[in-house]
Structure 1
Amino acid sequence: MSLLITDECINCDVCEPECPNDAIYQGDEIYEIHPHLCTQCVGHYDEPQCQQVCPVDCILIDEEKPETQAELQDKYEKLQEAKK
């Protein structure tokens, strides 16, 4: 599943540079996550880096976009291929 940022976001700017897939961007009011780019850091790290640095714990699993570990790995591999 991709992650999502809740409206508890304080726009502290620490999550965006931590995302290895450039999935996090500044939305109209708070930071948001492109679900098609979010792999929960699968392929890069053991844990989602944005969640690790968020001071208010407002980055959660998006239950509306379920993905298995294998699907996240596949998404990561496709994103890496596209960078070539």
Structure 2
Amino acid sequence: MAEFLDDQETRLCDNCKKEIPVFNFTIHEIHCQRNIGMCPICKEPFPKSDMETHMAAEHCQVTCKCNKKLEKRLLKKHEVLKTELEAGRGGSSL
């Protein structure tokens, strides 16, 4: 079955930026334009009904213990890098 799908001609959906089999493209496009939106910040497709939750959960501003403000989705990586720097193991910029 996977080989069958690999051989299918596809088109890029302008809305969700995914390759869709041509035989299914029209119905996908109708559904996608009605129900899927692109996050203006991370450029990931999400159901329009979930966009407000996504924005609040991923892109809200939080303050680290070091008083740096950053997006919530970046906080964990920031804290790991900060810990590595404090431990003298190196790390990249925060």
Larger RCO: 1 or 2 (CA < 8 Å, sep 6+): 1
Please identify the structure whose Cα radius of gyration is greater: 2
- TM-score of the two chains, using structure 2 as the length reference: 0.22
> Could you say which structure has the higher helix fraction?
2
Richer in strand (by share)? 2
